[in-house]
């Protein structure tokens, strides 16, 4: 008799959704979390009068109550939809490069077409055709592609996913170049590249096309109380279903017998036997450090040699003594840059040169509960890899991060003038911070680099140990929606196999 049917390591998005789905599916589940709160990236922290959102900028995939999309169905199945309040955003983003363009895209496919056609009238037909392509790529990706891949028949793939076959694995830059002439228009439509952490010439078009269409058609959302409220709701649903959780209790080893998992030993020395383990930790940590016999995962470790650790982030969490209106902010999400060249912006993520692009998110736009009355909560971030920080001596760390913060503020003030004088509370997070709290190599926030070579249609998943499963961004696309869905999908797969065995018996 095993202590648990399943043990989930890590209460990040993927771990939480997997644990809830397993427990509600009838498997007695233990959830282990090394931190003292659930959520991973989906958490908040308090400084002074302000509660800061750690990572969520916009939640995709919800759809509306009348037209629910895939993530709302996932949350329904996990029993959390009625436990949180979702707040709809009415703009996708503002894209601003001083002296070049300053435009705000509405959260509507027709609105995007109209807004961009007015700004770029000579390319109006191409804009409509491009958004039409984004729609069919999205439909094929979610509906036809999974079935076509399971069939293993190339003819089925070509017949049912012809747009994906033609465009899906092309670079976004190549597709943009096919449709448009204006480099400014390409830059505006490619604004979401930062959400994937890769420039347009390395980003699969299916990732950008699906992201853009999903946000436009299914709306961007935030959560009252921040993503911590959703993490708490998932934990509540897990406990209501009878699940067992241990905080301040990391996993030390995944124990095996033969070629399959048998137990998990915690950092406190407790050993819990189980049949299934779901790891929300990185695949690198899981196979190299947690697994008691790393030789079982030889194929996975070989696979790592062809991959690159993904990008991290440098973030300023700011409490401002003014309202969004005082700053002239209409959209919550603001992409700000000094050049439309995304490759130049991306190149700066590998060092400490002046950043060329950033994201300014004001959470108080549309949700006054996020800050004290008359004040605002905002995050200012840019992409940055963890590697540059390896060369910074401990005694130089504070000065280095404050100096870089000054550069980031100066960049954002090109579009939002003098907001620094309104900063009442500030906290700085570097890739080192991400590494410490997320326990990911290099503080990676999206798993491995999300290039074309990492796309699920190109790279097969490696499953070297029976009963050991990965959930989160290290087996697919990063971000909030993909990781919630990944955890639920892993749980569904385990439950299907469990039910099949039960029926056979």
| Structural domain contains residue 242 | yes
| Structural domain contains residue 187 | yes
Bridge-based pairing of strands 91-97 and 333-337 is parallel
Instruction: Give yes or no: residues 321 and 243 share one domain.
Output: no
Instruction: Give yes or no: residues 326 and 301 share one domain.
Output: no
Residue 318 pairs with which residues in a beta bridge?
378, 426
pLDDT for 503:
45
In this predicted model, what pLDDT tens digit does every residue of 373-428 receive, in sequence order? 999 999 999 999 999 999 999 999 999 999 999 999 999 999 999 999 999 999 99
pLDDT for 408:
98
| Structural domain contains residue 321 | yes
Instruction: Give yes or no: residues 355 and 472 share one domain.
Output: no
- Please say which residue of 178, 205, 221 terminates a domain: 221
| Structural domain contains residue 78 | no
Domain at 271, CATH number: 3.50.50.60
pLDDT for 483:
95
pLDDT for 505:
40
Count the neighbouring beta carbons within 10 Å of the beta carbon of residue 35. 18
Instruction: Give yes or no: residues 357 and 395 share one domain.
Output: yes
| Structural domain contains residue 58 | no
Show Cβ contacts of residue 462 under 8 Å, excluding neighbours closer than 6 positions: 297, 299, 300, 303
CA–centroid distance for 30 within its chain = 25
- C-beta pairs of 386-389 under 8 Å, 24+ apart in sequence: 386/309, 386/312, 386/431, 386/432, 386/434, 386/435, 386/441, 386/442, 386/443, 386/444, 387/350, 387/442, 388/350, 388/351, 388/352, 389/430, 389/431, 389/432
Report how many domains make up the chain.
Answer: 3
| Structural domain contains residue 387 | yes
CA–CA distance, 319 with 46 (Å, rounded to integer): 10
CA–CA distance, 46 with 250 (Å, rounded to integer): 24
pLDDT for 461:
67
CA–CA distance, 414 with 404 (Å, rounded to integer): 16
In terms of phi and psi (left: phi > 0; alpha: psi -120 to 50; beta: otherwise), the region of 119 is alpha
| Structural domain contains residue 193 | yes
pLDDT for 315:
98
Instruction: Give yes or no: residues 300 and 417 share one domain.
Output: no
Instruction: Give yes or no: residues 254 and 293 share one domain.
Output: yes
pLDDT for 500:
64
- Please say which residue of 443, 473, 496 terminates a domain: 443
Instruction: Give yes or no: residues 248 and 320 share one domain.
Output: no
**E strand or H helix at 102, and its extent?**
strand 101-106
Bridge-based pairing of strands 29-32 and 244-246 is parallel
Instruction: Give yes or no: residues 144 and 102 share one domain.
Output: yes
Domain span including residue 11: 6-47+226-307+465-504
Instruction: Give yes or no: residues 96 and 141 share one domain.
Output: yes
pLDDT for 297:
87
Instruction: Give yes or no: residues 127 and 145 share one domain.
Output: yes
In this predicted model, what pLDDT tens digit does every residue of 31-90 receive, in sequence order? 999 999 999 999 999 999 999 999 999 999 999 889 999 999 999 999 999 999 999 999
Residues of the chain with pLDDT under 70: 457-461, 500-505
Q: What is the pTM of this model?
A: 0.94
Show Cβ contacts of residue 450 under 8 Å, excluding neighbours closer than 6 positions: 196, 197, 198, 203, 207, 310, 477, 478
Instruction: Give yes or no: residues 184 and 133 share one domain.
Output: yes
Instruction: Give yes or no: residues 275 and 332 share one domain.
Output: no
CA–centroid distance for 245 within its chain = 24
| Structural domain contains residue 101 | yes
CA–CA distance, 411 with 404 (Å, rounded to integer): 11
pLDDT for 229:
97
- Please say which residue of 167, 187, 221 terminates a domain: 221
């Amino acid at each position: 008799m095993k202590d648990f049917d399943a043990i989930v390591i890590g209460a990040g998005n993927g771990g939480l959704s997997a644990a809830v789905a397993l427990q509600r599916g009838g498997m007695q589940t233990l959830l282990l979390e090394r931190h003292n709160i659930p959520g991973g990236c989906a958490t908040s922290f308090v400084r002074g009068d302000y509660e800061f959102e750690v990572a969520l900028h916009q939640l995709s995939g919800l759809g509306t109550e009348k037209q629910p999309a895939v993530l709302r169905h996932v949350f329904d199945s996990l029993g959390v939809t009625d436990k949180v309040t979702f707040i709809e955003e009415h703009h996708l983003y503002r894209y601003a490069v001083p002296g070049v363009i300053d435009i705000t895209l509405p959260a509507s496919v027709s609105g995007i077409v109209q807004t961009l056609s007015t700004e770029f009238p000579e390319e109006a037909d191409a804009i409509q055709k491009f958004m039409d392509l984004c729609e069919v790529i999205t439909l094929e990706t979610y509906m036809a592609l999974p079935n076509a891949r399971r069939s293993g028949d190339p003819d089925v793939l070509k017949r049912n996913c012809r747009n994906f076959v033609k465009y899906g694995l092309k670079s976004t830059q190549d597709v943009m170049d096919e449709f448009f002439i204006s480099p400014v228009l390409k830059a505006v439509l490619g604004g979401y590249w930062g959400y994937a952490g890769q420039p347009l010439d390395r980003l699969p078009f299916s990732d950008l096309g699906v992201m853009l269409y999903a946000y436009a058609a299914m709306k961007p959302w935030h959560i009252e109380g921040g993503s911590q409220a959703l993490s708490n709701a998932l934990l509540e649903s897990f406990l209501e279903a009878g699940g067992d959780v241990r905080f301040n209790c990391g996993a030390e080893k995944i124990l095996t017998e033969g070629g399959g998992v048998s137990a998990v030993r915690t950092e406190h020395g407790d050993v819990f036997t189980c049949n299934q383990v779901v790891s929300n930790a990185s695949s690198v940590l899981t196979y190299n450090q947690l697994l008691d016999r790393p030789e079982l995962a030889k194929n996975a470790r070989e696979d790592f040699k062809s991959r690159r650790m993904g990008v991290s982030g440098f973030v300023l969490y700011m409490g401002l003594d003014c309202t969004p209106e005082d700053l002239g902010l209409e959209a919550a999400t603001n992409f700000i840059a000094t050049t439309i060249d995304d490759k130049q912006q991306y190149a700066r993520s590998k060092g400490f040169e002046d950043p060329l692009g950033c994201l300014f998110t004001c959470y108080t736009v549309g949700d006054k509960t996020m800050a004290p009355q008359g004040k605002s909560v905002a995050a200012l971030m840019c992409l940055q890899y963890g590697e540059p920080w390896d060369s910074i001596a401990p005694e130089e760390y504070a000065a280095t991060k404050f100096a870089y913060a000054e550069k980031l503020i100066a960049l954002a003030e090109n579009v939002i003038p003098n907001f620094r004088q309104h900063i009442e509370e500030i906290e700085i997070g570097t890739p080192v911070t991400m590494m410490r709290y997320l326990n990911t190599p290099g503080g990676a926030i999206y798993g491995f680099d999300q290039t074309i070579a990492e796309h699920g249609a190109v790279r097969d998943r490696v499953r070297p140990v029976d009963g050991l499963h990965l959930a989160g961004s290290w087996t697919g696309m990063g971000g909030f929606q993909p990781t919630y869905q990944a955890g639920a999908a892993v749980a569904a797969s385990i439950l299907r196999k469990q039910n099949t065995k039960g029926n056979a018996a």
